Structure formats: C-alpha cells, structure tokens
Amino acid sequence: MPVMTITYQRGAFGQEIARRLALKFGIPLFDRNAAMNYFLADIATPHDTRMLNESPKYFLNESSAGVSFRDLLSERLAKYADNNNAVMLGFSAHLLLGSHPHAVHFFITAPAQIRERRFQSERGGMTIEEVRKRLTGSDRKFRRYSLVLYGEEEQDPFLYHVTLNTGKITVDAAVNLIAEVYTDHMAREFLFDSTEEAGRIRHREESSTIMKDPSEVPFAQVLDMYNIRWIYEPKTFPLEWDEKGNITLAFSPDFYLPDYNLYLELTVMDQRYTGMKKKKARLLNELYPGTNIEMIFKRDYDHLLRSLSTAGEMMSDDGKNNSVLPDSFPLG
C-alpha cells in the first residue's frame, strides 16, 4: 500500500485534507512532530529535536548513526513505505521519499488573497498586514527547507503527482480527488509494478488459474464482465495469536477490488464454514479499522452467475459491455 505525502501552504486547508484522508483510509497521520518522534526518537536528543524543528541546516549534521539526519530520516521513511501506508503531512516528506515507488505526492495551494482571508478568519483579531507577514514567513520557511535539504523549489509541479487549488475546489472535492489517485496508485502497485503479485492475477484471457476454490473462477469472470479490476488473495491479516506471539488465526479474503478499496470473501461451497468466515470478518473490522470487507453469500453468488449466463445479450455490436451491476452486488 502506498504512502501519500501532503505538502501545503498555510491557509490552503492542507491539514484538514490530510486529517480527512487518514480517517477515510484508516491509516496513520504523521506531521513533523509525529515523524520526528517515530523515526528519530532513538537517535535524536532533545537538543537535536529542537534544532531539527527550527533549522533546516541542522538536518545536514551528522547523527550518532554516522549519517546526516536528512539521510537517516529518508532511509527510515523509505523502509516504512516499503510495507506500510500513511499520510505524511509537511516536513518535506515528498523530497525525503522522492521517487519511492510506493509514495504518491500531493501539493495543496490556493491564491494568496484566499489564504489570507482564511488565515485571518482562523486567527481572529489579526490585521491583514499581520496575516500577510505571517504567511510570507511561513512560505519562506517551507521554501528554505526544500532548498537547503535538496536544492529543490517547494512549488515545482514536477515534484508532485497532483497539485490541487482549494481556491477553486472544496475540501471534500480535494479529498475525493486524492483518494481516487491514491486508490489508482494502489491498484497499479498490485496490477503492474509487482512481479510477485502479477503472477497472482487472472485476466479473462488466461486459461489457467491459481484459485483455490472452483467457485472463484466464475466469480472472477463476473468481475471481468463488468470491467471491475480485482486482485486475488493479495493480503493475509493475522487475527489471533498465542501467548508466544505465534499467529493462530488469519484471514486471506478471496478478492480485493482496488477501485472500491473493498475486500470480498466468497462463502458458497460449504455453508459449514460460514460462521467461521463471519467471525474472521468481524475480527478483521475490529483489528484493522478502515479495512472494508463484504461477504458474498450463495444467493448473491447465484444471482451474479445468472447475469454472467446472459452476458451475451447485454453486449453492444462493438463488443463493449453496456450492462449495469446487479442490485445485490456489494459495492454501494
């Protein structure tokens, strides 16, 4: 799963957007203080931490690990991004992670006059001159961090996947746009970038499959028929452990739909296992908040297969699928 970085100008609602994204996906949010505490707490002294917050040049000093604080933080962020997802807010995370394949970078901006009005509204009692001075100082500080750390301009659009202007779009729209890009990037990781995962994917043209249950093959064909991207058993979630920390119960949902951020578990072949699967789904929701899981029961499965059997009647002359999803399909 990718990490998203949010770089923002004061008064552009970057903090609110980052907060909503973290809640939407159920993933951690790291601002500057949280990042310093999480990634550098074992290395940075209280003096180091204070100086890192005050001076970008201090990042270039050598840490007790034998490398600069900048390089150490970059290395640890990259290692975290290899196997975890999060929202990274500010602290030049887009530069520290750079072109990491599991990082998606966003820049949140707005026209100066709009930012000034917003900031003045938040800080009641400040004159417009005081507001402009504060925002100018903030912009200068962020620009200095980028230039000192990497010699890059903070507002260079080529450093980001997407730049959003909240003077033209709402916070809700910005969150939804970022979520779409993030989900698409997540799908690309599974579908295109990973050799290991590529071997787990079955397209409609393939004649062979590694699917464990015969019922999963026609279900995948239904997803293909509706042009829904899917990944087969992409992840295993540990659910219970013994006193030694060994995993005693785990859950590998049958399908993941990256465009819907949704896991699906089929329970159609042997109804004796339905209770256990329900338990696993309940534990997954409790232990991994923000992870969406739906059970596909036999009645829903049979309905979907009936739609597959009539697919030929719903194809247009040019071979494109013009049908709509059955009402019972759990994507709403």
Same domain, 31 and 110: yes
Spell out the per-residue pLDDT of the chain, length 332, in tens: 689 999 999 889 999 999 999 998 888 999 988 999 899 989 999 999 888 888 888 999 999 889 999 999 999 999 999 888 899 998 889 989 988 888 999 999 999 999 888 888 887 778 888 888 888 888 888 788 788 878 887 778 888 999 999 999 999 999 999 988 887 776 655 544 444 444 444 443 343 346 766 677 778 877 776 778 888 888 889 999 988 888 999 998 988 888 888 898 887 655 566 788 888 989 988 898 888 898 887 777 666 666 555 544 443 344 444 433 444 455 54
Neighbouring C-beta atoms of residue 255, cutoff 10 Å = 22
pLDDT digits (tens, 9 = 90+) for 294-315: 888 777 766 666 655 554 444 3
Domain membership flag for residue 148: yes
Question: What is the C-alpha separation between 98 and 201, in angstroms, rounded?
Answer: 29
Q: What is the pLDDT of residue 269?
A: 56
Same domain, 189 and 277: no
Same domain, 182 and 241: no
* Residue 135's CATH number: 3.40.50.300
Question: Are 222 and 178 contacting, i.e. CB atoms less than 8 angstroms apart?
Answer: no
Domain membership flag for residue 179: yes
Q: What is the pLDDT of residue 312?
A: 41
Give SS3 for 154: coil
Domain membership flag for residue 209: no
Same domain, 9 and 152: yes
Question: What is the C-alpha separation between 236 and 261, in angstroms, rounded?
Answer: 16
Domain membership flag for residue 201: no
The amino acid at residue 10 is: R
Same domain, 46 and 90: yes
Range of the domain at 272: 216-314
Domain membership flag for residue 331: no
Question: What is the C-alpha separation between 302 and 305, in angstroms, rounded?
Answer: 5
Question: What is the C-alpha separation between 257 and 120, in angstroms, rounded?
Answer: 43
Question: What is the C-alpha separation between 138 and 8, in angstroms, rounded?
Answer: 11
Taking each helix axis as running N to C, give the angle between helix 112-122 and helix 128-150, from 0 to 180 degrees, rounded to the nearest 10. 110
Same domain, 241 and 291: yes
Write a three-state SS string for 171-232: HHHHHHHHHHHHHHHHHHHHHHHCHHHHCCCCCCCCCCCCCCCCCHHHHHHHHHHCCCCCEE
Classify residue 320 by burial, with Cβ atoms within 10 Å: 0-12, 13-18, 19+: exposed
Domain membership flag for residue 165: yes
Same domain, 159 and 299: no
Domain membership flag for residue 184: yes
Taking each helix axis as running N to C, give the angle between helix 32-40 and helix 46-54, from 0 to 180 degrees, rounded to the nearest 10. 140
Domain membership flag for residue 206: no
Q: What is the pLDDT of residue 108?
A: 95
Mention every residue, 6+ apart, whose C-beta is less than 8 A from residue 244.
none
pLDDT digits (tens, 9 = 90+) for 181-192: 887 776 655 544
How many domains does the structure of the chain reveal? 2
Take residue 198 and report the two structure tokens written for it: 């590529």
* Residue 289's CATH number: 3.40.960
pLDDT digits (tens, 9 = 90+) for 116-175: 888 888 877 788 888 888 888 888 887 887 888 788 877 788 889 999 999 999 999 999
Question: Are 178 and 164 contacting, i.e. CB atoms less than 8 angstroms apart?
Answer: yes
Take residue 81 and report the two structure tokens written for it: 């991004």
Same domain, 112 and 57: yes
What are the strands of the beta sheet with 231-232, ordered from one edge?
Answer: 231-232, 255-257, 262-267, 292-297
Positions of E strands within 20-115: 29-30, 87-89, 103-109
